[in-house]
Amino acid sequence: MAKPLNGLLVVETASVLAGPAVGMFFAELGAQVIKLENAKAGGDITRKWKLPKEDALSTVSAYFSSVNQGKEHCMTDLTAPDGRQLLDDLVAKADVLITNQMDSDTEKLGLQRERLRALNPKLLHGHIRGYTTDPSRPAYDVVLQAETGYIGMTGTDTAHPAKLPVAMIDVLAAHQLKEGLLLALWQRERSGKGAYVEVSLEEAAFTGLVNQASNWLMAQHAARPIGTLHPNIAPYGELFTCADGSRIVLAVGSNEQFKCLCQALDLSHLVHDQHFSSNAKRVTNRIVLAQMLAPAIAAAPRNELLARLREAQVPAGAVNSIDEALGSPTARGMVLEEVIDHVRTLRISGNAFRIEGY
């Protein structure tokens, strides 16, 4: 990947996931990222968030590694004179500062906006807070998933809700702050002035609701847990078991794709069935439709069936476990390795774009 941010200095005091992910994005793009960790607490708390099978004595966890490669790690105490001096020296020459400390802690840590701006008027200060209107309230991903509607529409039914298995609210906030800082960097190139860029986890969560938000705002349709199904399209998200016991998922989004699906499964008569003649009717009758598709899908092994569906231009895919998914050529090509504290760490790249000159 190109390194367009070579020469950029980023200082990070943020911890956990969202803020450190932003620092990692910049590091991948070539920036020098210096992470100041709380020495009194043993560093970023995620160093201790370990799976039972991980080395309990190691200073590095898999979780920590996921967003902290490519950085210079410095244990310090920002409340002590030497720690404060280190912060000030770095901020004075930094291009970007990434913070997520609570408002109540900013003064004792020397992270007040006005103070930082006085140290470096050209500084781009990116800050992640939890709640938009209640900055004193600690914010945790699972609570935000619950309060912003994610858990209420995730799971198999209302009796079995589920949370997203990654801290998606943190991920959304990280991307929002990265975009804001890149825009501020572009703006600084023209104005020469620094900026303060703020993102709340709460607002970032709402940005991720996209079509589900509009379904409610425009049609008063409140999403409920329906497993992998899609409220607007069918058969889209339906899971089927193949002859070898493995599963596939369909993503049929048009009448033409439905026609191709039926032809590939030797079920062409379904195309002319008035119960399935339009997407709206297929959504209404999706349970019956799935029951009619299931025997034809169950008659073939997964790989053979997927090859047939791809040949017919039908959107479908294998339901893979994470180990199967990470074994794909694409995933293997995105794995980054680095040694942190003498520990070999592996993670997936946080940037998926490519920049190529003309």
**Residue 112's beta-bridge partner residues?**
none
Are the beta carbons of 216 and 222 closer than 8 angstroms?
yes
| Catalytic position from the list 88, 157, 170, 244 | 170
Closest of 14, 23, 12 to residue 46, by C-alpha: 14
Q: Could you give the CA distance from residue 87 to residue 72 in angstroms, rounded to a whole number? A: 14
Cα 130 to Cα 136: distance, rounded to the nearest angstrom: 8
* DSSP-derived secondary structure for 248-308: EEEE--SHHHHHHHHHHTT-GGGGG-GGGSSHHHHHHTHHHHHHHHHHHHHTS-HHHHHHH
Catalytic: 55? Answer: no
Angle CA(168)–CA(172)–CA(176) in degrees, nearest 5? Answer: 170
Nearest alpha-carbon partner for 31 in 67, 59, 72, 66: 72
Q: Which helix (H) or strand (E) holds 124?
A: strand 124-129
Residue whose C-alpha is closest to residue 138's, from 169, 103, 164, 90: 103
**CA atoms of 29 and 350, how far apart (whole Å):** 10
Instruction: For strands 96-99 and 9-12, give the pairing.
Output: parallel
Number of CB atoms found within 10 A of residue 320's CB: 13
**What CA–CA distance (Å, rounded) separates 69 from 84?**
24
CA distance 17 to 319: 27
Q: Please identify every residue annotated as catalytic.
A: 170
